[in-house]
Amino acid sequence: MDKLEEIMAHKREEISNRMRPVRESELERLGRLADQRPAFAKSLKRDGGLAVIAEIKRKSPSAGEIKILPEAAEQARLYYNAGADAMSILTDEKFFGGTLRDLWEVTDFISDAKRDIPCLRKDFMVHPLQVVEAAEAGASCILIIVRALTDDEIRPIHEAAQIAGLDALFEVHNEKEVERTLTHDPKIIGVNNRDLARFKTDLEFSERLIPMIPKDIIRISESGIFEPEDAHRARACGADAVLVGEALMRAENPEELISVFHDIDSV
C-alpha cells in the first residue's frame, strides 16, 4: 500500500464513525451564508507576480515535525501580517497534526481582522459531510485530490461544495488526472509537485502539467517551493499562485519570503 492509499483508508475509517447523510437543504442553507465568506478563487489573481497561499502544517509524513504550534491562530497572525493572499489549513490529525478546530480558530481570527483572507480546508475529502464541516468552520474552499478518488466520488463532493458556496481546488499530479479534472468543469487546479505516494518533490511536474491547463482556470503550483528560484520556475510555466507550507512554517520572517514571491515578474 502506498502512503496515499494508507491515508485514504484511514480517512474512510475515521469518517465512518460520524457518517450521516447530507441533505441538499442543509447545503443550500450554508450556501445562503456564502457571501459572508471571503472568495477564494478571486484572491488568487494578482496583477503580475504570484499569489501566495500560506499553509499551516505542523508535521507531515515526508518532513516529520515541522513546527510546534499550540495555537493555529498564532501562525495565521504571522501569515496575515506577512500579506498572504489566502491560507491553507491542514485539518488531518493523524498524519499532519491539524484539527478542524484549527480551521475554526483561524477563520475566527480573520473575521476579527481588517482584511478578508479566504481559507482552504486542506484534508482528504471522501464525502460531502466534510464539505459541510468545512463550510461551518468558515472555509472558502475545499481540496479534491483527483488521484485518490473516482469520478463518481468526485461528483457529489464537488456538487456539495458548489451548493454550499465553496470553491474546489482540484489537485493533480499527472496528465491523465489533468484530463479527468477538465471533465468536471473546474475553476482552480493545483499541480502537486510532490508525489503523494512516495513523497518525492520535483518542480518539473508543474512545468509539464500547468501548460496543459487552459488559462481561464486558476493554476497553482503546490509543494516544494522554498527559494525564489523555485517560485520563478512556477511563474515561468504559467502559475497564478503557489501553495507553500514548510518553507513558510520554518521561516523566521515569512513576510520577506512572501514579498519575494509577490514580486516575481509576470511572464
Ligand X SMILES: O=P(O)(O)OC[C@@H](O)[C@@H](O)c1c[nH]c2ccccc12
Question: Which residue stretch of 35-43, 99-107, 175-183, 216-224 sits at the interface with ligand X (rule: CB under 6 A)?
Answer: 216-224
Single out the catalytic residue among 11, 207, 223, 246. Answer: 223
Single out the catalytic residue among 26, 133, 171, 177. Answer: 171
Single out the catalytic residue among 11, 59, 122, 246. Answer: 122
How do beta strands 59-60 and 64-65 pair?
Answer: antiparallel
Tell me: does residue 186 bind ligand X (CB under 6 A).
no
Q: How far is the CB of 4 from ligand X (least distance, A)?
A: 9
Q: How far is CA 261 from the centre of its chain?
A: 18
Question: Which residue stretch of 15-23, 44-52, 208-216, 220-228 sits at the interface with ligand X (rule: CB under 6 A)?
Answer: 220-228
Burial class (CB in 10 A: 0-12, 13-18, 19+), 183: exposed
Backbone angles phi, psi at 191, to 5 degrees: -95, 120
Q: For ligand X, which is the closer residue by CB, 117 or 241?
A: 241
Q: How far is the CB of 25 from ligand X (least distance, A)?
A: 31
Backbone angles phi, psi at 224, to 5 degrees: 70, 20
How do beta strands 86-90 and 51-56 pair?
Answer: parallel
Q: For ligand X, which is the closer residue by CB, 86 or 247?
A: 247
Q: How far is the CB of 19 from ligand X (least distance, A)?
A: 21
Name the H helices within 215-253.
228-236, 246-250
Tell me: does residue 225 bind ligand X (CB under 6 A).
yes
Cell 515578474, residue? Answer: 265
Name the H helices within the chain.
3-16, 24-32, 40-43, 72-82, 100-112, 128-136, 151-163, 175-182, 204-209, 228-236, 246-250, 254-262
Burial class (CB in 10 A: 0-12, 13-18, 19+), 266: exposed
Tell me: does residue 243 bind ligand X (CB under 6 A).
yes
Tell me: does residue 148 bind ligand X (CB under 6 A).
no
Contact pattern for ligand X over residues 101 through 140, marking x by CB under 6 A: ---------------------x------------------
Single out the catalytic residue among 88, 192, 193, 206. Answer: 192
Q: For ligand X, which is the closer residue by CB, 57 or 58?
A: 57
Q: CA quadruple 66, 251, 192, 124: dihedral positive or negative?
A: positive
Q: How far is the CB of 122 from ligand X (least distance, A)?
A: 6
Tell me: does residue 55 bind ligand X (CB under 6 A).
yes
- Positions in the binding site for ligand X (CB under 6 A): 55, 57, 122, 145, 171, 192, 222-225, 243-247
User: So which residues are the catalytic ones?
Assistant: 55, 57, 122, 171, 192, 222-223
